[in-house]
Amino acid sequence: MKSYVLALTLVAVVVIGAGAAAVINYMSGRGGPVAPSNQSGATCTTPPASATTSNTAVSTSGPLKIFCAGSLKIPFEHVAEVFKDKYGVEVYIEASGSVMAVRKITDLKKVCDVVGVADYRLIPKFVVPKYADWYVAFASNEIVIAFTSKSKYSDELLKNPDKWFEILDRPDVRYGFSNPNKDPCGYRSVGVVALASLYYGNSSILEDLILKKTNINASIEGEVLHLYVPAVLKVSSGDLIVRPKEIDLVALLEAGALDYAFEYKSVAVQHGLKYVELPKQINLRDPDFRDLYSRVVLYILVGSSKEKEIPMAPIVYGVTVPKNSEYPELGLKFIELLLSEGRNIFESLGQPFLDKPLGYGNIPKELLRYVGVEGG
């Protein structure tokens, strides 16, 4: 056992009690509204009937290029279909982990017209102010345990969802999450396991499911649990599978090569996977538990110049038009469509919007009707 275990057990009592504190605005803390494949073109299934379209093409420029989180790929494809019908512009979508999506812009100097990430905080951490001067936080999600009818002990899990960590730790069970250094779902999955150790008062959950099987380290400082993910993540156990982004785990689940995966609820819904929801004290969905979530802090890309500190917080997606966009006006029109007709599309796909999307920085005037401006 790591030396932090005793301290972790003691902290659990304090953390569980702290979870009852309500937070009105989990984005800014100042009050306000409360949230409730690798590459692809725009061709996808027909958008939901609730999305209105019109043949009001205004430009033949393009194609519009989007870098986005894997969990945004399907809803963005639906929005892209509406966009193409409305403006006559093709849309090219390149999905990856969100950290990789922003690093394509900042490190690889690639050009895109829209970037959408599964953690809006990555935009101010990596992109602002050099590569963008505004961004919008617009949608939410939660972490679930996804599986199929082929997954070992799935009937037992459905009857007793609170046994999820015991089932994952069985020697014949294979489970996975995405790479924390590349994908927010990955660092959130590790964070959820850490929160579970606090919530259940059981330090072996984090020890057995993460620390024994990887080179991730942990320490306790006061009431906060810190987790350090080396820039080169190593997995030392065959029953834990790590892939670059959460979507990569879906095919493994469907093929029976993986029993369980930490996924966004929207991904499970969109791919027809079975899933169990986790307690709201650990699933990163409920703004009332922001203070509790923040008692786990991850550090990604540790040991590199790109090392970042990421406290756990309610899941909020973000989007912007980078300064190097080839078609910034079209990028802005895509985001305007996303914030209007896109709301119904996202919610029909199991991914709720914030009650009022929040804009930060120099928000374009075209978006002001859709967002509450929060500043820099």
Sequence-separated (6 or more) residues with CB below 8 Å from residue 124: 135, 360
pLDDT over 70 for what percent of the chain? Answer: 84
The pair of structure tokens assigned to 185 is 């779902």
d(CA 173, CA 359): 43
The per-residue pLDDT for 11 is 52
**Residues 238 and 303 reside in one and the same domain:** yes
The per-residue pLDDT for 299 is 98
The closest alpha carbon to 261, from 346, 185, 163, 156, belongs to 185
**Residues 298 and 330 reside in one and the same domain:** no
The per-residue pLDDT for 374 is 86
356-367 residue pLDDT tens: 999 999 999 999
d(CA 11, CA 290): 17
The pair of structure tokens assigned to 319 is 């989007």
**Residues 247 and 161 reside in one and the same domain:** yes
What number is the average pLDDT over the span 208-214? 98
Give the global pTM.
Answer: 0.84
Domain of 97, CATH number, reads 3.40.190.10
> Does residue 233 sit within a domain?
yes
The per-residue pLDDT for 7 is 55
Q: Is the pLDDT of residue 8 over 60?
A: no
The closest alpha carbon to 189, from 288, 115, 263, belongs to 263
d(CA 120, CA 124): 8
**Residues 221 and 108 reside in one and the same domain:** no
252-289 residue pLDDT tens: 999 999 999 999 999 999 999 999 999 999 999 999 99
The closest alpha carbon to 284, from 302, 272, 296, belongs to 296
126-183 residue pLDDT tens: 999 999 999 999 999 999 999 999 999 999 999 999 999 999 999 999 999 999 999 9
**Residues 294 and 160 reside in one and the same domain:** yes
The pair of structure tokens assigned to 260 is 């369980």
User: Which structural domain, as residue segments, surrounds residue 238?
Assistant: 5-24+142-311
